[in-house]
Amino acid sequence: PHLSNGLADRQTCVAHFGADPPDVFGGSGTTLPERPYFVYLSTIEPRKNHLLLLNIWRRMVDELGDAAPMLVLIGRRGWENENVIDMLERGEALRGHVVEAGELPDNQMQDLVAGARAMLMPSFAEGFGMPVVEALCAGVPVICSDISAHREVGGDAPDYIDPLDGIGWMRMIHAYAAANSPQRAAQLARIGGWHAPTWRDYFDIVAQLLEDVTATVP
């Protein structure tokens, strides 16, 4: 629909950004949480739906106490996020269970993601979904909202849940936190058949488009 406004007669292509597996994640000796944990890599802003996860974690901590998994939030604070910030700064129940890591050097971020039970992406909207691609490249399971941007890059690998389905998210997080989670094992098997977009593919597509456009020039 975005191309129907005066662009239908122009040559276009879809070229996903690359994430070549050998260049994405490596070890740097980062200290990781001792308990099972999940990560969310995103700016803190309303469309990213952090509030869903914080409410889920508050309920899990009420039920499980220190047996609850941890949540590590990676990314800077954005805008219009007063409710989320209030819970992070004043929510005593979440202290020690939810960690706001903020912006991190790439190697620390990569280590945290690599050691997680899963990457959580409950956002309402995304432009591309690069964290999904990077996590899958590293062999890390992804639980994400059922939106077109995530399905476009994740294919059949992730577990998809409606971003408003709090009960569904909590059940899936509980399942993935288990030491011998069949749901997590099933996704790891699916990741084995998932193919990451590469920079070579990206530039091949762009180069072909340039050739096609040049060929039509009188």
All structural domains of the chain? 33-200 (3.40.50.2000)
pLDDT-based confidence at residue 24 (cuts at 50, 70, 90): very low
CA 95 vs. chain centroid, Å, equals: 23
Query: What are 182-206's pLDDT values in tens digits?
Result: 999 999 999 999 987 766 665 666 5
The rounded distance, in Å, linking the Cα atoms of 183 and 64 is 21
| Residue keyed to tokens 């288990």 | 178
43-62 average pLDDT score:
95
Residue 6 has pLDDT above 70, yes or no: no
The pTM (predicted TM-score) of the whole model is 0.81
Mean of pLDDT over the chain: 85
Which of 27 and 171 is assigned the larger pLDDT? 171
**In the chain, % of residues over pLDDT 90:** 60
34-54 average pLDDT score:
95
DSSP label of 38: E
pLDDT-based confidence at residue 60 (cuts at 50, 70, 90): very high
CA end-to-end span of the chain? 30
pLDDT at 127: 83
Cβ contact 138:117 at 8 Å: no
Q: Residue 29 has which token pair?
A: 């000796």
143-150 average pLDDT score:
96
pLDDT at 32: 86
Residue 40 has pLDDT above 90, yes or no: yes
Cβ contact 119:143 at 8 Å: yes
